[in-house]
């Protein structure tokens, strides 16, 4: 009886904790929204009064001194921050959609986006990504530096519309990218697939942020069996939005047609051996250093399961003189094959 009570209480306690955390997050979001809306109104008021009364820069300096004196514990009324509020209002007052979105992200994120980006579509992409994926300011900065918006516009290659129901195909398309930025791995030379996998697992949190929303890690070198044979998936995730297992295979060279057949085989095994009854069919993502879209399309024609093929790139910080010493793609492939044969 004690054990039953203990288990019931444990579940009860965890439920209460979850509600408290949810409530705190909602409270923080609510406070942030109120703060951003206040900054908007202050920026608007400064702009309108300057125009109406012909006030110059001096009014911002005077306002900062008066507000800082009145609200000593609040650090948001510096002269620079008041100018940012004015800029904030001017930048978004003619863009209704963006004006509705900006209160959903912190002030520091808004400043970064205003300072680094001028195109409204780019701004919308990064604002929505911060909202949906919970990017920290450092992650946001790295994504901007990596030009994530431009990469998001590149053509995606997969067979989702052919093998998935329409609603799930659309969700699956939204859940993958055409290119993944693995710059955070700090790899400055080509590596074997197993080393790439190890680096990703070691920095799993950053990789999951790069993957997108709703991904939960299950394992690496995930073991599958058929008869007396063993097979290992490089990385296995579960996507809560799609309610699907997501298998990822890492390839250090250019996409080869046989990769699609291998992934299709893995997905059939996952479908029959691992997928739960209430889950959607598994999805596969093949990450390659390079790909030819036409070759990918032909390779996916006979594949029955949902497979997407995407590129990744590593660090852009490689010195020019070091790049010249690195092996070309063909030499790297030979090196990988030789290494694999030796295992």
Domains and CATH numbers, the chain: 2-149 (no CATH), 154-341 (3.40.1350.10)
Strands 306-313 and 179-181, how do they pair?
parallel
Confidence of residue 219 (pLDDT cuts 50, 70, 90): confident
Is residue 254 packed enough to be buried (19+ CB in 10 Å), middle (13-18) or exposed (0-12)? middle
Confidence of residue 115 (pLDDT cuts 50, 70, 90): very high
First and final CA of the chain: distance in angstroms?
Answer: 54
Distance CA 323, CA 268 (A): 40
341 is written with which tokens?
């044969």
Compute the mean pLDDT over every residue in the chain, rounded to the nearest whole number: 80
Residue of 289, 283, 295, 300 whose CA lies nearest to 330: 289
- 12 pLDDT higher than 60: yes
- 53 pLDDT higher than 80: yes
Our CA dihedral for 97, 99, 104, 105, rounded to 10 degrees, sits at: 110
Number of Cβ atoms within 10 Å of the Cβ of 299: 25
Q: For 159-184, what is the mean pLDDT?
A: 72
Provide the CB-side half-sphere exposure for 32 (13 A, CA): 17
Distance CA 60, CA 66 (A): 10
Confidence of residue 337 (pLDDT cuts 50, 70, 90): low
Distance CA 244, CA 43 (A): 45
Confidence of residue 340 (pLDDT cuts 50, 70, 90): very low
Strands 229-239 and 244-254, how do they pair?
antiparallel
pLDDT score of 33? 86
Number of Cβ atoms within 10 Å of the Cβ of 57: 10
Q: pLDDT above 70 covers what percent of the chain?
A: 77
Kindly report the pTM of this predicted structure: 0.51
The phi and psi torsions of 7 (rounded to 5 degrees) equal -65, -40
Query: Alpha helix (H) ranges present in the chain?
Result: 2-53, 58-70, 79-92, 96-101, 107-116, 120-133, 137-145, 148-152, 160-163, 166-175, 193-202, 204-211, 257-273, 293-300, 320-323, 329-341
Number of Cβ atoms within 10 Å of the Cβ of 301: 9
């Amino acid at each position: 009886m004690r054990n039953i009570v203990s288990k019931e209480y444990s579940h009860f306690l965890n439920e209460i904790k979850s509600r408290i955390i949810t409530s705190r997050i909602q409270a923080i979001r609510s406070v942030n929204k109120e703060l951003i809306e206040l900054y908007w109104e202050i920026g608007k008021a400064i702009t309108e009064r300057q125009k109406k009364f012909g006030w110059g820069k001096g009014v911002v300096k005077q306002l900062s001194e008066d507000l800082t004196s009145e609200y000593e514990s609040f650090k948001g009324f510096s002269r620079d921050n008041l100018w940012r509020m004015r800029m904030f209002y001017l930048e978004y007052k003619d863009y209704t959609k963006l004006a509705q979105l900006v209160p959903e992200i912190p002030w520091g994120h808004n400043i970064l986006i205003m300072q680094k980006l001028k195109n409204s579509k780019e701004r919308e992409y990064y604002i929505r990504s911060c909202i949906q994926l919970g990017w920290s300011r450092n992650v946001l900065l790295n994504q901007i530096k990596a030009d994530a918006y431009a990469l998001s516009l590149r053509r995606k290659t997969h067979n989702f519309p052919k093998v998935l129901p329409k609603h799930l195909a659309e969700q699956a398309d939204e859940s993958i990218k055409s290119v993944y930025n693995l710059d955070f791995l700090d790899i400055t030379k080509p590596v074997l697939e197993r080393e790439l996998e190890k680096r990703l697992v070691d920095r799993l949190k950053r990789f999951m942020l790069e993957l997108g929303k709703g991904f939960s890690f299950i394992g690496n070198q995930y073991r599958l069996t058929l008869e007396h044979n063993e097979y290992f998936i490089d990385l296995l995730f579960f996507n809560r939005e799609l309610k699907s297992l997501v298998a990822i295979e890492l390839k250090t060279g250019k996409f080869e047609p046989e990769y699609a057949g291998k992934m299709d085989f893995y997905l059939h095994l996952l479908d029959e051996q691992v997928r739960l009854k209430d889950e959607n069919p598994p999805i596969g993502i093949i990450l390659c250093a390079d790909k030819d879209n036409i070759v990918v399309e032909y390779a996916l024609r006979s594949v029955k399961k949902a497979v997407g093929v995407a590129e990744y790139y590593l660090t852009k910080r490689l010195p020019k003189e070091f790049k010249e010493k690195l092996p070309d793609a063909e030499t790297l492939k030979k090196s990988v094959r030789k290494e694999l044969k030796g295992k």
